[in-house]
Structures are given as structure tokens and as C-alpha cells.
Structure 1
Amino acid sequence: MFFLILAAALLPAGLSAPVADCDTLTRRVQIRGLDQFLGVWTYAAESTNMPGSKILTKTFVDNVWGKIYPANESDSFFVFQVQKMFGRCYSVTSKLTLVNNTLHMEHPISATEVLITTSCPDCILLLSNYTLGESVYRGIQLLTRRAKVTTAEMDEFKRQVACLDLPSPAILDADKGFCSDGSASKDTETTDLTSMLSQADPEYMKALDNLLSSQGGIKTILQFIAS
């Protein structure tokens, strides 16, 4: 689900988890079945070690929501993900397949995801490895059935991020209003990026990875988007 370039916010002091707690906080859990993923989710927060994601998300991304629905195969589902950026809406659809307690995705990017424990009763916590160009990155996402999680639930997520040695998380802003699904109103315009990402030339993805890995590259991307 890491199609969107998300940022990290400053982790408040005192929230890092004691070493003894990290095994518990980052325990992998069994996927009971695909039904537990189906429905509508709000992306509450995310952390990734992809260089350059911090400033891009802080500058441009408001919020993200997703709708997960069954595929024809019993071991797969589709994820329709909608991002609000610049006050506009952008969507990406992906397909994930469950194999040996791990979710696998090939398009628009290659990724694997596993479930991590959380005390939030209506949340899922996804730990991912995904490839951009020639680089492999790690990330973790907190999804909830609600518009937002509680302060205690977010504090737990921040401790889990610290345990995984990832940058402090980007917390998305549900108060700015979510995009619709693109079908509720003729006035809603959602740009679908699925084909563009799936058909992107490998050399382009490699060049994008190189840009995101350097300060000069990030400056170039910011200038391009701003123009």
C-alpha cells in the first residue's frame, strides 16, 4: 500500500519504547482470513525509511482512505486507495494475495506485508517491505475503521515505530475532509494513477528513487510540483 510518498513528523520526547517492550509491541500476528481486511479504512499514520518522503508528505499530503473488496480468487483482494493532495483527489487500485501469512503485491509496485499486533480494537497495523527502482524500503501503516484514533492508540503506534528503528510517523489529518470515491457526485474529480504507475518504465522508477535519495533531488521534485 506504499504508493503514496508519506512523511515523518517529530516524535515527542519520552515516547520511545523500553527495549524489553519491543518484542511485544512488534509481535507478528496470524492473519485469520481476508474478511478481516474488507471494508473502508482511514490511514491514520505511517512511517517509512524511504529518503525524501518526510518533506514531500509534510508539504503536500492531507489524508488517505481506502476501500478493500474481494477479488475473484479466494486468496486475494483489491485495495482502492484515495489520497487528498493540493485539495485534489488521486486514486490507486492494487491487488494483494495471501501466501503463508504474508500479503504479496506485484503492481503498481512490488511489496510484501505482514500484520503486527495492536491494542486498537478496530485497527490493523501493516509492516511492509517494498521496492522502488533498485532499492528496498520498510514501512509501517496504522489503519482504522474510524476517522481517527485516540491519543493512547497513536502513542502506542509511535512506540512501535521507535522499536522498528523507523523515522517518527507522519500523522494524517482527517479534519481536512476526505475525498469521495469518485462515483457519488459528478462534481467530484478523482484522477486514477493506477495505469500510470503500473506501466511506468523501470528506468523512470529508478530515476525517481535516485531523486528521493538526495537533497538536491527532493528540491527538484518540490519545485516541479509547485510549478
Structure 2
Amino acid sequence: MMGFVHVAVAVLSFLSVGQSAPVNNCESLTKLIEIQRDQLLGKWMIVAESTNIPASNKLTKVFVESSWVKITASNESGVLDVFQSQKMFGSCFTISTTMKLENGTLFMEKPAKASEVLLKTSCPDCLVVSMNYSIGGNTFGGLQLLSRRNQVTAAEMDEFNKQVECKGLRPPTILDPEKGICPDDSPSQETETESTDLSDAMMDLDPAVFDQFQRMISTEGGMNELIKLISSGLAAMKEN
């Protein structure tokens, strides 16, 4: 049971949100910008995200309180080390992955094939990441808003909402750093909060698990079952 919960949380972390007036300037809102390696480096708060993965937004809204990533340059040319930490039910979970920057696009091979590009944004310290993932033989897309700050302005969020709409995605899930942020991985930082590293669980993940996960979140009954399993598992982890 606990092994399944770790895998489910790992997959959720990896994937890891109303109608408005039609947007008429989608061409400018979805314009790509060239990725410069140095602009990616450092720590970023994940402010909001939306995907077309069935039920992903609802799962993120139910479980994920806050999340951040730290990107550093690897010793290997063109390779970036990505460390992600997120808080769920008062517990912290981390995943370490690598991505390669080639011809203005970020690529990932494990735990699943993915590509990412950047969209233009008027936010001076933000990244708007357009993602494509191959999961269980299907391709899914999404947008993610990252910022150096814990929160962005209403105007900056409105712009991101319009970009989401232009991409035909569901209204984004907005994460809430006021609920607490997992500590930095710096060894000099003293904290009583323990983090569970899910990197090995993700890297050794059988592709069939992605298929199973996808089937579960593709139906209302399956999604509710998954929510119950993860909720009970996380509660048991906190008791122990």
C-alpha cells in the first residue's frame, strides 16, 4: 500500500489547477521566446499550472499546497539539473531529474519523454513554460507559471489565464504558498521538516504504471478511488 502511495505521489508530483471572455490576441500571448540557459538557473516558485491531463488539475488542487524548483547547470554541456520540492498534506516530497537544452527547447527522457518551451510574458521575473508529455502512449500538454516571487500581481495572473485559454486548457490551479513552503535543500538550513525523496521511485517506474494512473484519472470513479488511496496513505505516513 505504502509503495503504491509513493508511486502515486511521485506521478502526481511529476504531472504536478470559469469561463472568461474570448481572447483575441492569442498570437502575441503564445509567442515563443528563445531559451537562454542562464535565465533558467536558480530557484522558482510554481505559482499556477494547467494541463489537459484528465483530472490532473483537480488532483493538484486537492493535494498540492505549494511547490518550487531549483535549476542548476550540470557538468555535462547543455544539461540542467532540476530539483523539485512540493508540500502535500503538510509533508514534503522531492524529485531530482535532468533536462537537456537543445535548439531552444528543453528535453527530458526520464521518467517520461517531455519537451518544454517558453512563452513570452510581461512579468519581469517569471517563466511561462509550455509543456508536452508522452504518458502511456498518449501526448498531453500544459502551461506552468513560475516566478522568483511567492505570488504574482493580479495583472500578471490575468495574462497567464489568457495564455491558458489561448492554449485551450482548463482554468489553472493556483498554488498557495501561504500554506507553507518546503525548506530549501541547503545543508546549512536547519529545519524539523523531513522530506521524502521520490527520485528513485520515478526513475525506476515501470511505464505500465503511467498507463494504470491514466486509466484511474480518466473516470470519475477511478479518480475518487485514487484520491482516497493517496489521502489515506499520506495520513498513515504522518502518523508514523
With structure 1 as the length reference, what TM-score do the two structures score? 0.92
SS at match of 1:207: helix
CA contact (8 A) 2:57 2:172 kept: no
Deviation at 1:186, TM superposition (A): 5.3
Quote the Cα distance in structure 1 between the aligned partners of 2:14 and 2:203: 14
Match of 1:13 among 14, 20, 30: 20
Match of 2:209 among 204, 209, 215: 204
1:217 aligns with 2:222: yes
1:25 aligns with 2:26: no
The answer for the alignment partner of 2:117 in structure 1 is 114
Quote the Cα distance in structure 2 between the aligned partners of 1:47 and 1:204: 22
SS at match of 2:100: strand
CA contact (8 A) 1:48 1:138 kept: yes
Deviation at 1:60, TM superposition (A): 1.2
CA contact (8 A) 1:6 1:170 kept: no
Match of 1:87 among 76, 82, 90: 90
The answer for the alignment partner of 2:237 in structure 1 is none
Q: Which has the higher helix share?
A: 2
Change (3 A) 1:160 1:107: same
One-letter identity of the residue aligned with 2:34: Q
**1:103-129 per-position Cα deviation (integer Å, ceiling 9, x unaligned):** 000112210000110000011111010
- Percent identity over the alignment is 43
Quote the Cα distance in structure 2 between the aligned partners of 1:82 and 1:60: 14
The answer for the alignment partner of 1:187 in structure 2 is 192
SS at match of 1:72: coil
CA contact (8 A) 1:3 1:109 kept: no
Deviation at 1:13, TM superposition (A): 3.4
One-letter identity of the residue aligned with 1:29: I
Match of 1:35 among 33, 38, 41: 38
**1:38-82 per-position Cα deviation (integer Å, ceiling 9, x unaligned):** 001010110100001122122111011111111112211111010
Change (3 A) 1:12 1:150: farther
One-letter identity of the residue aligned with 1:13: S
Gap regions ≥5 residues in structure 2? 1-11, 233-240
Change (3 A) 1:74 1:151: same
Q: Which runs of 4+ in 1 moved over 3 A?
A: 2-6, 11-14
The number of aligned residues is 220
Quote the Cα distance in structure 2 between the aligned partners of 1:69 and 1:13: 37
Quote the Cα distance in structure 2 between the aligned partners of 1:226 and 1:108: 24
Q: Relative to structure 2, which stretch is displaced further, 181-190 or 22-31?
A: 181-190
Gap regions ≥5 residues in structure 1? none
1:52 aligns with 2:59: no
The answer for the alignment partner of 1:142 in structure 2 is 145
Quote the Cα distance in structure 2 between the aligned partners of 1:89 and 1:3: 11
RMSD of the TM alignment (CA)?
1.7
Deviation at 1:154, TM superposition (A): 0.1
SS at match of 1:156: helix
